[in-house]
Amino acid sequence: MKLFCTQENLQRILSYLERVTGRQTSLPILSNVLFETEKGQLKISATNLEIGVISCIGGKIEKEGRVAVPAKLLANFIYNIPQGEVLEIESDEKNTLHISTPSYQMKMKGLDGKDFPIIPQYKESYPLSFSAQQFKNSITKLLSCVSTNTSRIELTGVHILFFENNFYVAATDSFRLAEEKIPFSLLQETYKETLLKNDSCIIPANTLQEILRVITPETEQVFMVVQEGQLFFEIDGVQVISRIINGKYPDYKQIIPKNFSFSGVLLKNDFQRALKIASTFSSYNANEITLSFFPQEKHCVITSQSQEIGENKTTIPIEVSQGATPLTMTFNVKYILDGVNTIEGETIVFSANTPQTPIALQGWNTEKKEKKEEAVYIVMPIRK
Amino acid sequence: MTNEELWRAVLGQIELSISKANFITWFKNTSILNNQDGCVVIGVPNGFAKEWLENKYNLYILRALKSFDTTIHTIRCVISQEKISHPAIQTVDGVKNIDAIQAPEQSGFTRKKILEKPSFGAQISHNTTFHETNLHSRYTFENFIVAENNELARAACYAVSQNLGLVYNPLFIYGGVGLGKTHLLQSIGNEVMKNFPEKRIKYINSERFTTELVDSIKNQKIDKFKEYYQQMDLLIIDDVQFLSGREKTQNEFFHIFNALYQLDKQIVISSDRPPKAIPTLEDRLRSRFEGGMIVDISRPNLETRIAILESKILEKGVVLDKASLHFIAEHITQNIRELEGALNRVLAFSEFHKVPASLENTKKILSQLIENNKKNIKSDDVFSVICSFYDLQKEDLIKKGRKKEIVHPRQVMMYLLRTELEMPFSTIGDLLGGRDHTTVLHAFEKIEKNKNIHSRLKEELSSLLERLYYSSVDTTV
């Protein structure tokens, strides 16, 4: 193999691939990336057998070939070469890879490309696409809710449900839940039936993190297809393939209350500030804080206390749009704060029924005087 | 040949021709889904395995398949996902599933934890090594001697080791000290490790489990502790009776048990007595133990003891004459560990004095040991054991009265005095409030007859004997 390419291109691709390489020692080749020439391009792939990433960069190919080289070593070299250099990449029969510029030379021992796992590829045209920025925005918010407890494997991913022209992504760690709505466009009418039959799946959180890394601020569209047991994405020419988590996601829709007997609008900044203060006092007390709403007085009182260090109380104004009786609830402040942080805009609607049932946090459209329905964050209060 | 058998045979062949790492990576969780008209459909867990088997190993697989069935000409792979079922989150018709999101529980535990000063210095010991299974390779099924006293237990253990989590879950083994419970438990672990090296196995005794738990509470690492145990494919808990009276440990163990059980992970437990007889064991744990398979290991009979001694001799590569062997086996009856100890003593003696071990020597060497066993027990010991076992006062046994709760212990007492202390019937009668020797004779005959009929009585007697000879056991009661 012999070719020329630029340092920027290679660095960009390596930054997507490096995290995907496997760390398991049973199959050492997984810690490598595969270089191969294909159709006048350099194709680089990496996999840990759960996620696979394939991407191509342009360059001048002089001789075809393939070789697998250690990802960490390669990345450390490439990252430190000044930008703008043109790299000459060459491999020999002993699977040694030479990379050289006029001033930098490197030689590293690789493995035979034939032993590298074959990453499944989707070669047809993708049936659906959606906005990359909206997806990135929504998924970033959801990832904090994904469970890390591997004893319930289905909660370690993000659930995706197709419904009409939107899909709903949701994540929960069984204490709180976040859901977002993202519109998509169907590029193939025939795929509609497939979606009707198979309308949901669970995507591993790791896969989504990789996808977010690939999406740059310039990225416009993400293409996607769900197949038996696996998922394919294409973002700016980079293909990401992932397994699907095998399991039954809890039927979370029924957790989200349809109606609320109380709802009030708060200023996000005020609320955030009050919660942060409260969290400093609650850290000794299992993160417990108390929220009290007084519709008559039009204010909300946030308190937290601990016997060891002291207590605090913050009063902030609230615009009550529904409900007239005072309400007091206890929460884990971390869960509430996570939710508040993800809501866009300056105002937040807090909706509740009773002190024992789930509450919802949503954005508030001040002009139309209604809740923004694209996203909802549900938290369960602490039962006293 | 069924598809399953065929695939197992094929895997056996392929395993020989490729490296272990490759074999495990690519052939894990594969199976034959369909075999029709010479076309075999192989189910694989993911797209990577599909590509690899179809493009790289297709010839290996085809060749292996052809050696069993020459009509097979093509293979095809499909991604098949076994549906994992979680009983906890399945919705029963009509019953709403509200498991998705739950309130953080406010437990007394978290409150207690807050009061303690947080310390971050120490680590939980199990974090240090991943493969810390605690298994000793000395214990295997091959060197376990099977006899009628333990054949059921051994068969159950073997079945469990071949089908983790699918048969007999949980498996509960009970039996006296030194009868081979630990050997069997460890054999399961070793067998599984041999056949399925990727499985996560943990062997731990309940004492160590408690210590780890206490440490993790102290270091506020309780979540890690739970998570660690909930990842096990095979959890073996030895001497579970020591959990009795430890409420918090039982509580945590209960949750770990449930989590594993729901995921169909294997749990194996041993104890020196059946679950019913473990005092202060919480009912919900007890009923779970009883929900699986309960097997017991009883004392080995003479033939088994001889067989054990013979295998030990073979293992050590020494010679001992038959007569001495029989003598040891006849006189050390309670416990296999002691049997080995006696044998070691004889062998050490003969090596030390450079004399061959003969029956005479053996008798002399062991006389002290055997005497110890018998002589140490006095009638007072029998009294105290009976009183503590049946929760009675010594006076109750002596005074007149024919209440059922007292008559039975009194008869057992007479029986023990006769069999273990070899007292004359009339002396026994005198000891128990001047009763006639015929009364004692009647009691003796009654127990002698019933012990072979009622298993409960037999268990009762064996645990009484145990307490009599190993008084350390009953300190935990």
Our measurement of the distance from residue A84's CA atom to the centroid of its chain's CA atoms, rounded to an integer in Å, reads 32
**DSSP run (H or E) holding B265:** none
Same domain for B38 and B176, yes or no, is no
A172 touches chain B (CB under 8 A): yes
Q: Is A40 within the bounds of a domain?
A: yes
Asked if residue B330 and residue B224 are part of one domain, the reply reads: no
Say yes or no to pLDDT of B97 above 70: no
Asked if residue B273 belongs to a domain, the reply is yes
pLDDT band at B310 (very low <50, low <70, confident <90, very high): confident
Is B114 among the domain residues? Answer: no
B351: tokens are 């090596």
Residue finishing a domain among A253, A278, A301: A253
Chain A within 8 Å of B110 (Cβ-Cβ)? yes
CATH code, domain carrying A40: 3.10.150.10
Q: How many domains does chain B have?
A: 4
Neighboring chain A residues of B91 at a CB cutoff of 8 Å: 251
**pLDDT value of residue B104:** 52
Mean pLDDT, rounded, for A38-56: 90
- Judge if A6 and A81 occupy the same domain: yes
User: Does residue A121 sit within a domain?
Assistant: no
Q: Is residue B69 part of a domain?
A: yes
Rounded mean pLDDT of chain B?
78
Burial of A218 (0-12, 13-18, 19+ CB in 10 A): exposed
In the listed set B273, B297, B321, which residue is the last one of a domain according to the structure? Answer: B297
If asked whether residues A13 and A50 sit together in one domain, one would say yes
Q: Is residue A354 part of a domain?
A: yes
Residue with tokens 């070789």: A67
- B430: domain CATH number is 1.10.1750.10
pLDDT score, position A24: 66
More confident residue, A317 or B313: A317
Interface of A with B in 57-116 (CB under 8 A): none
* A262 and A228 part of one domain: no
Which residues, in sequence order, are CB contacts of B428 under 8 Å at separation 6+?
B414, B417, B418, B437, B440
Do residues B217 and B73 both lie within one domain? no
The answer to the question of residue B122 being in a domain is no
Nearest CB among A52, A118, A152 relative to B55 is that of: A118
Looking at the structure, do residues B151 and B178 belong to the same domain, yes or no? yes
Indicate whether B150 and B254 sit together in one domain. Answer: yes
Of all helices (H) and strands (E), which one includes residue A159?
strand A157-163
Same domain, A31 and A107: yes
Question: What's B293's domain CATH number?
Answer: 3.40.50.300
Cβ within 8 Å, pair A250-B90: no
Task: Give the pLDDT score at B146.
Answer: 83
Q: Between B221 and A70, name the one with better pLDDT.
A: A70
pLDDT at residue A112 greater than cutoff 60: yes
Q: Is the pTM of this model over 0.80?
A: no
- Residues 21 to 60 of B: which have CB under 8 A from any A CB? 21-22, 24-25, 45-48, 50-52, 55-56
Query: Which residues neighbour A331 within 8 Å (Cβ) at sequence distance 6 or greater?
Result: A288, A289, A290, A291, A379, A381, A382
Q: B95 in contact with A at a CB cutoff of 8 Å?
A: no
Which residues from chain A sit within 8 angstroms of residue B56, using beta carbons? 118
Would residue B113 count as lying in a domain?
no
CA A159 to chain centroid: 11
Is the domain of A133 the same as that of A247? yes
A192 and A297 both lie in a single domain? no
Q: A268 and A219: one domain?
A: no
Q: How far apart are the first and last CA of chain A?
A: 68
Same domain? For A209 and A286 the reply is no
Indicate yes or no: CB of B91 within 8 angstroms of CB of A251: yes
> Tell me, what's the ipTM?
0.73
* B328 and B371 inside one domain: yes
Domain boundary among B248, B279, B297: B297
Indicate if A143 and A215 belong to the same structural domain: yes
Residue finishing a domain among A219, A253, A287? A253
A20-57: burial string, b at 16+ Cβ within 10 Å, e else: bbbeeeebebbbbbbbbbeeebbbbbbbbbbbbbbbbb
Are B326 and B286 in the same domain? Answer: no
What is the extent of the structural domain holding B406?
379-476
- Asked if B51 and A230 come within 8 Å (Cβ–Cβ), the reply is no
Q: Nearest CA to A362 among A381, A343, A380?
A: A343
Q: Which residues of chain B lie closer than 8 angstroms to A288, CB-CB?
A: 106
Q: Are residues A245 and A261 in the same domain?
A: no
- Which tokens go with A296? 């008559």
C-alpha pair distances (Å), A340 with each of A336, A375, B432: 6, 12, 79
Q: Which residues of B touch A335 (CB under 8 A)?
A: 104
Per-residue model confidence as pLDDT tens digits over B155-209: 899 888 888 888 888 899 988 888 888 888 989 988 888 888 778 888 888 888 8
Question: What confidence tens digit (pLDDT) does each residue in A120-171 have?
Answer: 988 888 999 999 999 999 999 999 899 888 778 889 999 999 988 899 999 9
**Partner residue facing A383 (CB), from B46, B48, B106:** B106
My answer on whether B401 and B342 are in the same domain is no
Residue that terminates a domain, selected from A198, A231, A253? A253
Residue B306 has pLDDT above 50, yes or no: yes
Alpha helices, DSSP H, located in B231-279: 247-262
CA distance A333 to A351: 16
Determine contact, residues A235/A54, Cβ cutoff 8 Å. Answer: no
Cα dihedral B425→B426→B432→B434 (10° resolution): 150
pLDDT band at B372 (very low <50, low <70, confident <90, very high): low
| A to B CB pairs, distance under 8 Å | 121
pLDDT digits (tens, 9 = 90+) for B348-370: 887 777 777 777 778 877 777 76
B374 falls in which pLDDT band (50, 70, 90)? low
Q: Residue B207: helix, strand or coil by DSSP? A: helix
Domain CATH number, residue B72 = 3.30.300.180
Q: pLDDT-based confidence at A292, cuts 50/70/90? A: very high
Question: What distance lies between CA A185 and its chain's CA centroid?
Answer: 20
Say yes or no to pLDDT of B99 above 50.
no
**Rounded mean pLDDT of A268-274?**
93
Last residue within a domain, chosen from B326, B341, B375 = B375
B255 in the same domain as B191: yes
β-bridge mates for residue B320, sequence order? none
Lowest pLDDT segment from A218-227, A269-278, B15-24, B117-126: B117-126
Whole-angstrom Cα distance, residue B205 to residue B121? 26
pLDDT higher than threshold 50 for residue B117 = no
Chain A residue nearest residue B89, CA to CA: A250
d(CA A350, CA A372): 12
Indicate the residue of A27, A246, A250 with minimum beta-carbon distance to B25.
Answer: A27
Query: Is there a single domain that holds both residue A134 and residue A104?
Result: no
Inspect the interface and report whether the beta carbons of A172 and B100 lie closer than 8 Å: yes
Residue contact B48–A49, C-beta within 8 A: yes
> Do B195 and B339 reside in the same domain of the chain?
no
Nearest by CB to residue B104, choosing from A244, A308, A382, is: A382
In a domain, B115, yes or no: no
Q: Mean pLDDT over residues B63-77, rounded?
A: 86
Same domain, B152 and B14: no
Range of the domain at A47: 2-115
* Best A21, A34, A49, A116 residue to mutate vs chain B (most B CBs within 10 Å): A49
What is the mean predicted confidence (pLDDT) over A229-239? 90
Residue B34 lies in a domain: yes
- Strand duo A166-172 + A221-227: pairing: unpaired
Say what the pLDDT of residue B91 is. Answer: 37
Q: Does B447 reside within a domain?
A: yes
Both A366 and A349 in a single domain? Answer: yes
Q: Are residues B363 and B385 in the same domain?
A: no
Number of domains in chain A: 3
Q: Strand B201-205 relative to strand B234-238: parallel, antiparallel, unpaired?
A: parallel
For residue B205, the model assigns a pLDDT of: 86
